């Protein structure tokens, strides 16, 4: 492993991310923020939702923003770079094992995910007000889960970006990501699915559930939530599987 | 000093159809499509033998050419030597390093210009050069100095700070070569570097490549243009269907063609008696007739024409067309394969 090359590869991605900063922010942040406004403000002020809903909403919104930013931040550039123009070729020739290029992309994606979680939290808090009843007691656990969620997003993006074609990504979005978000327990606690027992079991295959529940359980523990220990265990396993799959998919795309 | 290249019995069998971009032309269509299409029209996996036992030895400091038609296996050979293609069997070495098992060491020694431009579209021309050098750990000041020099040398300075998406094919090609030279590699791979270049740019490129070679660097160049192989290369391997069919200096190769000159005739008819007559003319080493065309390999060209015309008239065949080709690698290829390189 060669740090100089790794750093240069990272610097390249950072440079490109900075250049596309505005579009990236709009792409991934707009939707969660609109959601915050509609559900956190319109619905609660009009009395259609209890005001306590706002504190429940923030961790879920963070989970969505992190997951989407990390996934898209890794998958979309990869799709373009592995296309027939093979823009990635020059970096595959850099004097470092090509797996490290994949690792670098995942690290960059995970950092992007963490940043977007932080960025979306600020305006969301402004929109939702300061009386959200958030707890700072479990910050260590919260940070651990946030990092695991960021890794899940980036490794998932690597797997996705190296598995589907450019023509299929639109379909993936509407067929996979939309239900994933809706059934990701971001807008409601998992416990509230109790009246749909089959659905409640079914959504457990959705990693976003653990992201939302984990962030909520450590930031707003007053709401019902899955135990953080279980969350961490599941996320570690999911991360490991996605990292290994992502690296394999990347290698099979990189070498013919 | 200097780093050589060696391959031993390289074989590569592709088991997936070539991507649309790899202009193999044997498998057209089939890319893209929806998510669920795969199963329905699943074809059995193809077995494309791209390389069928290629053994080469390129000396340090040599300009070595791989000459062959499309699909011959030139890019696959380059791909294996540059760590981008996994060989099915056989070995490939850059200097002392196995290109597959010691990838990082091998990559450090090589610069690669692939057949298709693969510039980083998210960067400007200058940034492409600067980041490339950074991957190789070249210091900041040195990077900028080299980038300026190469941009200038390749006449790209006016567009240095533009994104490269809008560049013409020729500009992309020049920038690709400049990028490959940024880290001063010991071995430079150029896969069909002059395809799509205008004659002026081609001369510019040839000059730069020669100069680079004179500083002791090894160059492996692929081409289907025999003029390029002839003027640029110290030695040439002619490849076809994944095999080396001839190897030597351009002069040696040309001298190996029977006769050297190739006189091609088109006639109204080719009676057996005419062929016998042509074979008996002095200096003629081989006569091949296909339909109404006749290829004569001979030790002389122009002076043969009078006798050929007389022989045709004698056998009451009208001569429609006569073409004289001087000894060339093109003739050699035609002689070995019965096909023209140009097709
Ligand atoms: N990635 C690939 N997958 C499958 N087949 C390929 C691939 N690349 C090249 N081929 C096939 O291998 C053969 C040799 O191709 P190539 O090495 O590109 O030839 P050349 O560079 O001499 O034109 C062709 O038949 C081509 O279609
Ligand atoms: Mg080729």
Read off the pLDDT of residues B40-56 as tens digits, 9 standing for 90 and up: 455 667 788 989 999 99
pLDDT for A244 equals 96
CB contact under 8 A, B136 and A168: no
pLDDT for B44 equals 67
pLDDT for B310 equals 85
Contact with chain A for residue B46, Cβ under 8 A: no
Instruction: Decide: B111 and B181 in contact? Cβ < 8 Å.
Output: yes
pLDDT for B261 equals 80
Distance between CA B95 and CA B187 in Å, rounded? Answer: 9
Contacts of B85 in chain A (CB under 8 A): 255-256
Contact partners, residue B172, CB within 8 Å, separation at least 6: B117, B119, B164
Q: What is the pLDDT of residues A175-185, one digit of tens each?
A: 888 888 888 88
A9, A86, A95: residue with CB nearest B107: A95
CA B216-B155-B233 angle, 5° bins:
35
Tokens of B264: 């091609």
C-alpha pair distances (Å), A44 with each of A129, B186, B277, B297: 12, 68, 104, 93
Distance between CA B66 and CA B244 in Å, rounded? Answer: 9
Q: What is the pLDDT of residues B190-226, one digit of tens each?
A: 999 888 788 888 889 999 999 999 999 999 999 887 7
Angstroms from B305 CA to nearest CA on chain A: 51
Question: Which residue of B lies nearest to A172 if distances are taken between CA atoms?
Answer: B35
pLDDT for B170 equals 87
pLDDT for B26 equals 38
Contacts of A5 in chain B (CB under 8 A): 135-137
Distance between CA B23 and CA B12 in Å, rounded? Answer: 17
Task: Give the SS3 label for residue B98.
Answer: strand
Q: What is the ipTM of this complex?
A: 0.85
The answer on pLDDT for A85 being more than 80 is no
Contact with chain A for residue B179, Cβ under 8 A: yes
Of the candidates A141, A159, A151, A152, the one whose C-alpha atom is nearest the C-alpha of residue A214 is A141
The answer on pLDDT for B62 being more than 80 is yes
Distance between CA B199 and CA B155 in Å, rounded? Answer: 15
Of B7, B43, B48, the one to substitute when testing ligand 1's pocket (max ligand atoms within 8 A of C-beta) is B48
Of the candidates B184, B143, B174, B167, the one whose C-alpha atom is nearest the C-alpha of residue A11 is B143
Q: Hey, what domains does chain B have and what are their CATH numbers?
A: 5-102+185-253 (3.40.50.300), 258-326 (3.30.70.100)
Distance between CA A64 and CA A181 in Å, rounded? Answer: 7
The answer on pLDDT for A173 being more than 80 is no
Count of A-B CB contacts under 8 Å: 96
The answer on pLDDT for B30 being more than 60 is no
Instruction: Decide: A211 and A67 in contact? Cβ < 8 Å.
Output: yes
The answer on pLDDT for B313 being more than 50 is yes
pLDDT for A93 equals 95
Cβ burial of A142 (10 Å; 0-12, 13-18, 19+) is buried
CB contact under 8 A, B135 and A91: yes
Contact partners, residue A229, CB within 8 Å, separation at least 6: none
Ligand 1 interacting residues, C-beta cut-off 6 A: A 256; B 14, 16-19, 22, 24, 26, 48, 50, 68, 70-76
Nearest ligand to the C-alpha of residue B77?
A: 1
C-alpha pair distances (Å), A173 with each of A35, A116, A189, B146: 18, 20, 24, 44
Residue A176 DSSP label: I
Proportion of chain A above pLDDT 70, given as a percent:
98
The answer on pLDDT for B340 being more than 70 is no
Contact partners, residue B145, CB within 8 Å, separation at least 6: none
Distance between CA B190 and CA B168 in Å, rounded? Answer: 19
Instruction: Decide: B281 and B307 in contact? Cβ < 8 Å.
Output: yes
Average pLDDT rounded to a whole number, residues A69-98: 89
Query: How close is the Cα of B79 to the center of ligand 2, in Å?
Result: 10
pLDDT for A80 equals 86
Average pLDDT rounded to a whole number, residues B174-178: 94
Of the candidates A11, A92, A35, the one whose C-alpha atom is nearest the C-alpha of residue A255 is A92
Which of A32-36, A128-132, B274-278 has the lowest average pLDDT?
A128-132
Break chain A into its structural domains and give their ranges: 3-255
Instruction: Decide: A105 and A78 in contact? Cβ < 8 Å.
Output: yes
Average pLDDT rounded to a whole number, residues A63-83: 88
Helices (H), chain A: 3-19, 21-35, 44-45, 53-81, 89-92, 98-128, 139-161, 169-172, 178-182, 197-202, 207-219, 228-254
Phi, psi of A18 (to 5 degrees): -65, -40
Tokens 């009395």 appear where?
Answer: A47
Beta partners for residue B7, in sequence order: B56, B92
Of B14, B79, B82, B115, the one to substitute when testing ligand 1's pocket (max ligand atoms within 8 A of C-beta) is B14
Tokens of B226: 């025999």
Sequence length of chain B is 343
B27: confidence class by pLDDT, cuts 50, 70, 90: very low
Proportion of chain A above pLDDT 90, given as a percent:
35
Helices (H), A136-205: 139-161, 169-172, 178-182, 197-202
pLDDT for B48 equals 87
Query: How close is the Cα of B73 to the center of ligand 1, in Å?
Result: 6
Distance between CA B205 and CA B219 in Å, rounded? Answer: 13
pLDDT for B31 equals 42
Query: How close is the Cα of B126 to the center of ligand 1, in Å?
Result: 32
């Amino acid at each position: 492993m060669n740090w100089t090359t790794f750093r240069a590869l990272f610097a390249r991605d950072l440079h490109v991310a900075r250049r596309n900063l505005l579009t990236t922010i709009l792409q991934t942040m707009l939707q969660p923020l609109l959601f915050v406004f509609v559900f956190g403000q319109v619905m609660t002020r009009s009395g259609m939702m209890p005001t306590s809903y706002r504190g429940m909403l923030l961790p879920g919104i963070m989970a969505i923003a992190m997951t989407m930013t990390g996934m898209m931040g890794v998958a979309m550039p990869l799709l373009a770079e592995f296309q027939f123009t093979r823009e990635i070729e020059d970096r595959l020739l850099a004097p470092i094992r090509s797996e490290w290029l994949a690792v670098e992309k995942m690290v960059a994606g995970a950092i992007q995910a963490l940043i977007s979680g932080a960025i979306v939290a600020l305006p969301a808090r402004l929109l939702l007000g300061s009386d959200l009843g958030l707890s700072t007691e479990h910050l260590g656990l919260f940070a651990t889960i946030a990092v695991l969620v960021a890794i899940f997003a980036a490794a998932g993006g690597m797997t996705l970006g190296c598995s589907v074609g450019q023509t299929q990504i639109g379909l993936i979005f509407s067929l996979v990501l939309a239900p994933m978000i809706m059934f990701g327990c971001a807008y409601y606690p998992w416990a509230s699915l109790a009246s749909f027992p089959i659905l409640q079991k079914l959504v457990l295959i959705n990693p976003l559930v653990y992201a939302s529940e984990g962030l909520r359980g450590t930031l707003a523990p007053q709401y019902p939530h899955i135990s953080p220990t279980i969350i961490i265990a599941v996320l570690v396993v999911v991360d490991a599987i996605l990292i290994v799959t992502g690296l394999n998919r990347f290698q099979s795309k990189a070498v013919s | 000093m200097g780093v050589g290249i060696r391959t031993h019995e390289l074989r590569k069998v592709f088991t997936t159809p070539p991507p649309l971009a790899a202009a193999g032309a044997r498998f057209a269509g089939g890319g893209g499509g929806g998510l669920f299409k795969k199963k329905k029209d699943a074809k059995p996996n193809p077995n494309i033998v791209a390389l069928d036992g290629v053994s080469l030895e390129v000396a340090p400091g040599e300009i070595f050419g791989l000459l062959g038609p499309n699909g011959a296996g030139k890019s696959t050979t380059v791909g294996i030597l540059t760590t981008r293609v996994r060989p099915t069997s056989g070995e490939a070495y850059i200097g002392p390093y196995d290109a597959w098992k010691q990838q990082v060491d091998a990559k450090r020694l090589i610069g690669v210009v692939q057949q298709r431009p693969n510039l980083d579209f998210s960067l400007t021309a200058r940034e492409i050069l600067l980041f490339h050098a950074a991957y190789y750990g070249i210091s900041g000041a040195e990077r900028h100095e080299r980038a300026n020099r190469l941009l200038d040398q390749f006449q790209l300075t006016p567009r240095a700070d533009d994104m490269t998406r809008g560049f013409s094919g020729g500009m992309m090609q020049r920038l690709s070569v400049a990028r490959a030279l940024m880290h001063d590699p010991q071995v430079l791979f150029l896969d069909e570097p002059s395809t799509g270049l205008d004659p002026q740019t081609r001369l510019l490129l040839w000059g730069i490549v020669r100069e680079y070679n004179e500083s002791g660097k090894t160059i492996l160049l692929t081409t289907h243009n025999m003029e390029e192989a002839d003027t640029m290369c110290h030695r040439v391997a002619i490849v076809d269907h994944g095999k080396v069919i001839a190897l030597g200096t351009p002069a040696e190769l040309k001298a190996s063609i029977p006769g050297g000159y190739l006189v091609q005739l088109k006639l109204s008819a080719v009676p057996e008696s005419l062929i016998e007559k042509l074979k008996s003319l002095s200096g003629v080493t081989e006569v091949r007739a296909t339909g109404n065309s006749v290829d004569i390999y001979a030790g002389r060209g122009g002076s043969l024409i009078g006798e050929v015309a007389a022989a045709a008239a004698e056998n009451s065949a009208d001569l429609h067309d006569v073409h004289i080709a001087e000894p060339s690698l093109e003739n050699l290829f035609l002689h070995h394969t019965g096909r023209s390189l140009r097709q």
